[in-house]
Structure 1
Amino acid sequence: MSCSTSGGCSSNGSSGCTKHNTFDWLANLPAYDNGEHPLVEIQVEGQFHKRYAENNKSLELFRGDWVKIRAHRGYDLGQITASGELAKLGHLRKIRELNDWGKGKTNQEDSFDVLLDKANEKEIKAHQNQLDKRLMYQKKVRDISREMQLPIKVSDVIYRGDCQQATVYYTSDKRIDFREWVRQASVSLSTRVEMRQISDRQEAGVKGGLGPCGRELCCSSWMTKFDSVSTSAARYQQLAINNEKLAGQCGRLKCCLNFELQTYIEAKAFMPTRVKDIKSPKGTYEVVSVDYLTKSISYRSPSGELVVVSPKEYNDLRQRVQDGKDVESVFSKAKQLLPKENKQDPQAHSMDMAVEGVDLDSFVQNRKKGQGRSNRKGRPPRRKNKRR
């Protein structure tokens, strides 16, 4: 897939497909310190990480062009997604990720792929034909798994660019011996077969889809590194621990819970570690909520009003309680909010609002007194079920 502009796709990096697109925001800037051979960023179908290669042959490459890169016993096809400074920045990010995952350091030369040449129309067409038959190949390998009763879930089957090898992506919770399975799959697909296990989050990225936010899944559009997500991230952000709402399409906790976690952690450092109720001669001010982002603490006064105080005012209140001083002066200066039932327009509240001929205000008062319960006088008695 090629974008409509040289600087990036027309939808600013989100094309609605399940490919990891890159918006080249440095395309129109002059390159500097690129070295003798500029870098290019390559996206290979079915792979979650971008590949980087040096344009040693000084080929005229543009975004969306198909190129051949060296693979084991052959070559693979990929598309140019970025070049110049943006590719250089992406390569440095990849090296940092590899160093974080591995124990040793990764050299820049070891992370480069060998760029062979531009792909011709015949090679591109053959590769596209193999990609169009992915559903048929998936059905074949799934039938083999069903016949052998292997507890695996086949996610995708992708042929290499030279059609000499097929990679089967699968998920499984158990350790399985695939030797016989690979033999039958090689005969069915008429090529060498490589098994590659992926996680549940990576499978969701392969399948693609829309999240509850209405946008394309992050794992299928731009994410390449999947960090672990714990329930403590939801607690820091004051979210209810509801597995159904916090889980994504992969069945795991949503990756976006980590996006704002650092912001909440930094904001929580400016808030009191433990917020308590404040007692006064007029009654007890009860804690309603603590908002880390706005740095505010909401209290409900004995009269039912909502009072919002800052962390500095809260520390002043706690000190006054310890010293035995009056706290009403601090609450009187704080921001007061009306209760929810009094936030509406006074004129609208004074209008005659009746429910079945009963005034709404009197109906609420009767409900509080217990007089609003249904009275069954004058009605026929309930029929009791007789035991046979």
Structure 2
Amino acid sequence: MACSSCSTGTDGQPRGCKNNGTCGSDGCNKLTVFDWLSNMSLPSGERAFDCVEVRFKNSRKEFFRNTENLSLSIGDVVATQAQSGHDIGMVTLVGELVKVQMKRKKVDFKDEALPKVYRKASQSDIDKWQKCRDREEEIKKRAREMAIILKLQMKISDVEFQGDGSKATFYYTAEERVDFRQLIKDMAKAFSIRIEMRQIGYRQEAQRLGGIGSCGRELCCSTWLSDFRSVSTSAARYQQLSLNPQKLAGQCGKLKCCLNYELDTYLEALKDFPSQDTKLMTEKGIAFCQKTDIFKATLWFSYKDDPANWHTLSKEQVQEIRAKNKKKEKVASLEEYAIENYVVEEKVLFENVVGQDSLTRFDRPKRSRNSKNRNKNKNRNRNKKSGNAQTKSNSGNRGPANKSEGGKGQGGNRNRKRRNNNRNKNQNNTKQQPKNA
């Protein structure tokens, strides 16, 4: 829903048209209407329709009468009549299609009390309007803080300033009725403007704020869906969807509006199908319907005594068996009609074709690098300790061998010196004995 010139900048704002999603081509506006009569000229003597459609912040649109006969086109910024003062908006539709939209919205285009378009907005009007728009986020934050201090069970979701800056409308959601009289007094004193509180539903909140849905596209309620039909869980049952609130609920917390898109097709297809309460009478026993596949036009039945074994039957075969049962005739068994027999216990829920170990393999917590380094250091210390123990054992084995060789170190040298001295003394004594004789 964006124009070709809207490219995202570093701050998240559009870089191309610089209009923050409200470009003159009306391509990225919310709830935009395509003017397929824009290239057609009016017949001679016909006057153009004097009402225009003007869009304000988010999805708020109103109709105004062009009493001054201004030459307006889609994308023009105009100053319009308000309850007090004036407001600034952008023209989104002109011509005969405005009459169609007014009939669709049940607005009387002949009513003389319709608000008027004053003029095209001047540069000073646009600058003042832009300053008011820049204050909205700060004021919304302060208003939420005031509501929390007063302990009000409400959520302020959006703030919209009037074009002249004299009034601000606060949109909020709440489960029950909220007494916000003191809140209005505090905000009027703090912001020095007139305050209007407007309660909206959760779907309207999602419509105003916008976002991306689970399908990857922008929310339907904020782009093109203008009416909110009630959605019930029966829509999911008819489409055979699992009743999982996390998958069926949208960003508004309610059931998704897209559940109603294909509901009529399913209801039309189910007209020719037997109901889920269908019972087939056979000689083996009573068979109950377990599952229905609308796309393949098949049904699964199982016996009352053997619910684990399912038998696949086509829609025509079931109708044939029911016709015989109405005549009080029983068929021999479902196996004669079954396309294939199906055993629930042998059903392959997941086939490992890629060699994956488990579907939850990414859910396991990752081990930190520090734990890995600790384990490596522990292994190194263990290796060092075992190496030191081996060296000590080897040194212990060498000790006795050295002692048997006569010791080692200084003790061994002393013993050798003593032996040499004794030998020298004995030799001297033997030499001196003959002289004395």
TM-score normalized with structure 2 length: 0.63
Q: Distance in 1 between matches of 2:172 and 2:355?
A: 62
Equivalences for residues 90-239 of structure 1 within 5 A:
90-95=101-106, 108-109=110-111, 112-239=114-241
- 1:321 maps to 325
Are positions 1:37 and 2:42 aligned together? no
Q: Give runs of aligned pairs for residues 195-344 of structure 1, distance below 5 A.
A: 195-278=197-280, 280=282, 287-292=289-294, 294=295, 296-299=297-300, 307-310=312-315, 312-323=316-327, 324=329, 326=331, 336=339
Q: Is the 8 A contact 2:63 2:115 kept in 1?
A: yes
Count how many residue pairs are aligned between Structure 1 and Structure 2.
329
**Is this contact kept in 1: 2:169–2:195, CA < 8 A?**
yes
Superposed CA offset, 1:29-81 (max 9, x none): 445797553432211114x4421233333322221111122110111111111
Amino acid corresponding to residue 42 of structure 1 in structure 2: V
Write the distance in 2 (CA, Å) between the matches of 1:92 and 1:252.
Answer: 29
Amino acid at match of 1:205: Q
- Cα deviation digits, residues 225-261 of structure 1 (max 9, x gap): 3233222222232222221211111111112222333
- For the residue of structure 2 that corresponds to 1:269, the secondary structure is helix
Q: Give the equivalent residue in structure 2 for 1:72.
A: 83
Q: 1:62 maps to which residue?
A: 73
Distance 1:214 1:263 in 2: 24
Within 1, Cα distance between the matches of 2:111 and 2:317? 58
Structure 1: 5+ residue runs without aligned partners? 99-105, 357-388
**Against the structure 1 CA distance between its residues 221 and 337, is the aligned structure 2 distance closer, same or farther, given a 3 Å change threshold?**
farther
1:220 positional shift: 1.7
Partner residue of 2:410? none
Q: Distance in 2 between matches of 1:355 and 1:38?
A: 67
CA distance in 1: counterparts of 2:74 and 2:355, whole angstroms: 67
Per-residue deviation, residues 169-205 of structure 1 (Å, max 9, x unmatched) = 1112232222221122112222111111111111122
Larger CA deviation: 160-169 vs 86-95: 86-95
Counterpart-to-counterpart distance in 1, 2:41 and 2:269 = 40
| 1:3 to 1:340, Cα distance in 2 relative to 1, 3 A | farther
- Provide, for residues 303-362 of structure 1, a one-character-per-residue CA deviation record: whole Å limited to 9, x for no partner: 97864523x543222112344265789976x9x4797999x9xxxx9xxx9999xxxxxx
* Displacement of 1:141: 1.1
Greater alpha carbon shift after TM alignment, 228-237 vs 133-142: 228-237
1:379 match: none
**Which amino acid counterpart does residue 298 of structure 2 have in structure 1?**
I
Query: Counterparts of 1:4-19 in structure 2 under 5 Å?
Result: 15=28, 19=30
Amino acid across the alignment from 1:190: S
Alpha-carbon distance between aligned partners in 1 of 2:63 and 2:255, rounded to the nearest angstrom:
31
For the Cα contact (< 8 Å) 2:2–2:27, is it kept in 1? no
Shift of 1:122: 1.7
RMSD of equivalent CA atoms:
4.1
Quote the offset at 1:265 in angstroms: 3.0
Is the radius of gyration larger for structure 1 or structure 2?
2
CA distance in 1 between counterparts of 2:153 and 2:130 reads 31
Following the alignment from structure 2 to structure 1, what is the Cα–Cα distance between the partners of residues 181 and 356?
Answer: 74
Offset, 1:14? 7.0
More deviation, 266-275/234-243:
266-275
1:27 equivalent among 38, 41, 55: 38
Residues 1:63 and 1:36: Cα distance change in structure 2 (over 3 Å):
closer
Identity %: 36
Give the direction of change, closer, same or farther, for the CA distance of 1:65–1:131 in structure 2 (3 Å limit). same
Aligned partner of residue 109 in structure 1, secondary structure:
coil
- Equivalent of residue 63 in structure 2, options 44, 47, 52: 52
The answer for the alignment partner of 1:82 in structure 2 is 93
